[in-house]
C-alpha cells in the first residue's frame, strides 16, 4: 500500500551532557510565550480592562494551570487505575501523558484565581485567553507528530503514514489534522472575531466560540484518530475525546447565548 514516509525527527531537540530538552517541552514554551504576546497585543485594544504588565503574572498562573491540570486530567480521565496503583508515576511527567481537557480546566481555575486577586472581570480575561489558546494547541499537536504519538486510524489515503509505533499499516496523520483545525483554523476565526468585530465587547462570546470550535474540531478529528489503546471506544464508536468534548460544546453554547443577552461593555 502506497504511503508517505514518516519524517523521523529525534524527539530530543537539544542534548548537552545531562541536560536534555525535548521538542515537546519547547512546544509548551513556544505556545505559552506566543500566547502571552497575543494577549499583550489584545490588552492594548478597547475595551481596556487590564494593563499589559499584569500579564507577566498571568503567564505564571497559566503555566501552572496547563502543567498541573494537564497532568491531573490525564491521570483522572485516561489511566486512573494505573496511577492509583503507581502514585509516584504521577510526578514522572517526562514519561509522557498530558490531557488537553485537564489543561483547559487547570487554566480556567488559574485564571479565575488571578482575576479575583487582581480585581479583573473574569469573562473578559477568559475571552483574552480563548484567543491565545489555539496557538498552544498548534505547537502541542506538532510535537505529538514529531514524537509519532496519538496517530490516526489505518487508512489508504495517499497522505497516510506508517508511524514507528503504529504497526505496519499506513495511518492518518491525525496530529496534523488537529494542528490545522484546533490550532490554525480556530485561531484565525477567534482572532478575526476579536479584531474585526465587536465580539470583545460581549464578555464570554469569544470563550463560547472557542469552546464550540475546539469541541467540534476535536470530535471530528476523533473519527480519524486511533483511540487510546488502554481505553478503546467508550461505547459504540464514541471515544474518550468525544465524551470530554461534548460538555465543552454545551458550555460554549451557553456562554454564547448569555454573552449575546448581556448588555455590551463600554469602550473604556
Using CA atoms, how far apart are residues 50 and 118, in angstroms rounded to an integer?
9
186 C-beta neighbours (distance < 10 Å), count: 25
Residue-level pLDDT at 85: 83
The mean pLDDT of the chain is: 89
Q: Which long-range contacts (CB under 8 A, 24 or more apart) does 163-171 make?
A: 163/6, 164/6, 164/8, 166/226, 169/1, 170/1, 170/2, 170/3, 170/4, 171/226
Query: For residue 212, what pLDDT band results from cuts at 50, 70 and 90?
Result: very high
Is 266 among the domain residues? Answer: no
* 235 belongs to a structural domain: yes
Share of the chain above pLDDT 90, in %: 52
Number of domains in the chain: 1
Residue 5 lies in a domain: no
53 is a domain residue: yes
Q: What is the pLDDT of residue 2?
A: 66
Q: pLDDT tens digits for 10-69? A: 888 888 888 888 888 899 889 989 999 999 999 888 888 888 778 888 888 988 988 888
pLDDT confidence of residue 267: 64
Residue 160 falls within a domain, yes or no? yes
> Which range, 11-25, 145-159, 223-237, is most confident?
145-159
Q: Which domain holds residue 139?
A: 12-261
| Direct distance between the N- and C-terminal alpha carbons of the chain, in angstroms, rounded to an integer | 61
- The answer to whether residue 3 is domain-embedded is no
pLDDT of residue 79 exceeding 70, the answer is: yes
Q: Is residue 125 assigned to a domain?
A: yes
Q: At residue 268, does pLDDT exceed 90?
A: no
Nearest to 150 by CA among 74, 207, 65: 74
- Residue 4 in any domain: the answer is no
Q: What pLDDT, on the 0 to 100 scale, is given for residue 246?
A: 95
Amino acid at each position: 500500500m502506497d504511503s508517505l514516509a514518516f519524517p523521523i525527527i529525534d524527539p530530543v531537540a537539544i542534548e548537552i551532557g545531562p541536560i536534555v530538552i525535548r521538542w515537546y517541552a519547547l512546544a509548551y514554551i513556544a505556545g505559552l510565550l506566543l500566547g502571552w504576546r497575543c494577549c499583550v497585543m489584545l490588552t492594548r485594544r478597547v475595551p481596556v480592562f487590564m494593563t499589559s504588565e499584569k500579564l507577566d503574572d498571568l503567564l505564571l498562573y497559566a503555566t501552572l494551570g496547563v502543567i498541573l491540570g494537564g497532568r491531573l486530567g490525564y491521570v483522572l480521565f485516561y489511566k486512573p487505575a494505573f496511577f492509583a496503583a503507581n502514585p509516584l508515576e504521577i510526578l514522572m511527567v517526562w514519561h509522557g501523558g498530558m490531557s488537553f481537557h485537564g489543561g483547559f480546566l487547570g487554566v480556567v481555575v488559574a485564571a479565575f484565581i488571578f482575576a479575583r486577586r487582581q480585581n479583573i472581570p473574569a469573562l473578559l480575561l477568559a475571552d483574552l485567553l480563548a484567543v491565545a489558546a489555539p496557538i498552544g494547541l498548534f505547537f502541542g499537536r506538532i510535537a505529538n507528530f514529531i514524537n509519532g504519538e496519538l496517530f490516526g486510524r489505518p487508512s489508504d489515503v495517499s497522505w497516510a503514514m506508517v508511524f514507528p509505533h503504529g504497526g505496519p499499516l499506513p495511518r492518518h496523520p491525525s496530529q496534523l489534522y488537529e494542528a490545522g483545525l484546533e490550532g490554525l483554523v480556530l485561531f484565525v476565526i477567534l482572532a478575526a472575531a476579536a479584531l474585526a468585530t465587536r465580539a470583545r465587547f460581549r464578555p464570554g462570546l469569544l470563550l463560547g466560540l472557542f469552546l464550540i470550535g475546539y469541541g467540534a474540531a476535536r470530535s471530528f478529528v476523533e473519527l480519524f484518530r486511533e483511540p487510546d489503546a488502554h481505553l478503546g471506544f467508550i461505547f459504540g464508536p464514541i471515544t474518550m475525546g468525544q465524551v470530554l468534548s461534548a460538555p465543552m460544546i454545551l458550555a460554549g453554547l451557553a456562554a454564547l447565548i448569555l454573552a449575546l443577552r448581556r448588555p455590551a461593555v463600554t469602550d473604556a
